[in-house]
Amino acid sequence: MHPFDQAIALQAGADDSFTGHTSEAYRNMIGPFGGITAAVLLNAALQHPKCLGEPTAMTINFAGPVPDGPFRIQARPVRTNRSTQHWQIEQWVDDPESGQPIIATTASLVTAVRRPTWSATDVPAPVQGGPDPAQEPIVVTSFTPWLSQYALVPLQGPLPTEWDGSENSDSLTSFWVRKSTPRALDFCALVAVCDVFYPRIWRRRARQVPAGTVSMTVYFHADAQTLAHSGEGYVLAQATGQEFRNNFADQSGHIWNSAGQLLASTHQIAYYKE
């Protein structure tokens, strides 16, 4: 089984519940990589027997760290209309101190049956066609384990080489990215890659300050057929910060496939410490 599929694997239980286990392959500095947590929660809804349609919008709130070990997910469709469905999803873990169950992550999700209509984009891909075959992808095997699960070809705004506090004029970053062990793109993989960007404040200030995502929203523009056509290849990821103020900073990002189709847009807010 692919490491990603192992990480998001769930066992269905009673009363809209699922159980899973954290993955060492997707471990971050504290707990799992946020993108894999988002993928696990989305996977619970997609596996639910009452799921209607495909993901359209998802907001994930990271309430606290997820300790290594088992967890439980409660995924409930709270309202179903003719073409849309609204979900509440919770991830429960055992508190390392008290041993009592506590919520680590919450999410809201909208799924929908989407129908063909006139379509256009106001956010064209800055480049298309995938990376130059002569460019060797970067696989980071140090720092945190989850980074080694992705292969990147940088285009703009690389990670600073000197953490000297010298401010950059912007925090824009773009790169081609795919799984280091190729895997076909689907909704769970797409929501995970929306969190693949390193903290924008690191780029903006060239200071490796403690930082972490508090809340992330993803809007899915692709349907399952578009994702299937994207295959195992690279997607283009681009993100930029917008405001850095009083320990919190937000960022906006976009994900395109190599054909230039916008697959998802994402927005998040993260805390940082000086």
Q: What is the pLDDT of residues 52-65, one digit of tens each?
A: 999 999 999 999 99
pLDDT of residue 270: 96
The yes-or-no verdict on residue 30 having pLDDT over 90 is no
pLDDT at 160: 83
Could you tell me what percent of the chain has a pLDDT over 90?
87
Q: Which of 71-80, 163-172, 183-192, 224-233 has the lowest mean pLDDT?
A: 163-172
* 243/266 Cα distance (integer angstroms): 15
Given this model, what pLDDT does residue 188 score? 98
Q: Distance between terminal CA atoms of the chain?
A: 41
The domains of the chain, with CATH numbers, are 3-113+134-272 (2.40.160.210)
Q: Within 13 A of 124's CA, how many CA atoms are on the CB side?
A: 3
Please report, for residues 9, 77, 109, 187, 191, the alpha-carbon distance to residue 85 in angstroms, rounded to integers and kept in the order given: 23, 7, 8, 16, 18
H or E stretch covering 62: strand 54-62
**Of 46 and 98, more confident:** 46
The confidence band for 113, taking pLDDT boundaries of 50, 70 and 90, is very high
In the three-class reduction of DSSP (H, G, I as helix; E, B as strand; rest coil), residue 36 is classed as helix
Average pLDDT, the chain: 95
Q: How many CB atoms lie within 10 A of CB 246?
A: 8
Q: Are 66 and 32 in contact (CB under 8 A)?
A: yes
The pTM is what? Answer: 0.95
Average pLDDT over residues 81-101: 95
Mean pLDDT, residues 118-137: 93
188 DSSP assignment: H
Nearest Cα neighbor of 33 from 149, 156, 174, 139 is 149
**pLDDT value of residue 57:** 98
Show the tokens assigned to 74: 């409660």
pLDDT of residue 232: 95
Residues linked to residue 265 through DSSP beta bridges, in sequence order: 219, 254
**Whole-number pLDDT of residue 86:** 98
Does the pLDDT of residue 180 top 90, yes or no?
yes
On whether the CB atoms of residues 188 and 7 are closer than 8 A, the answer is: no
Residue type, 58: M
Interacting residues of 208 by C-beta distance below 8 A, sequence separation 6+: 163, 202
Note every long-range contact of 118-127, with CB atoms under 8 Å and residues 24 or more positions apart, other chains counting.
Answer: 121/262, 123/254, 123/262, 123/265, 124/260, 125/236, 125/256, 125/260, 125/261, 125/262, 126/174, 126/236, 126/238, 127/155, 127/236
Rg (CA), the chain: 18
Residue 242 clears pLDDT 90, i.e. is over it: yes
pLDDT of residue 201: 94
For residue range 201-239, what is the model confidence (pLDDT) as tens digits? Answer: 999 999 999 999 999 999 999 999 999 999 999 999 999
- Confidence (pLDDT) at 184: 96
SS3 189: helix
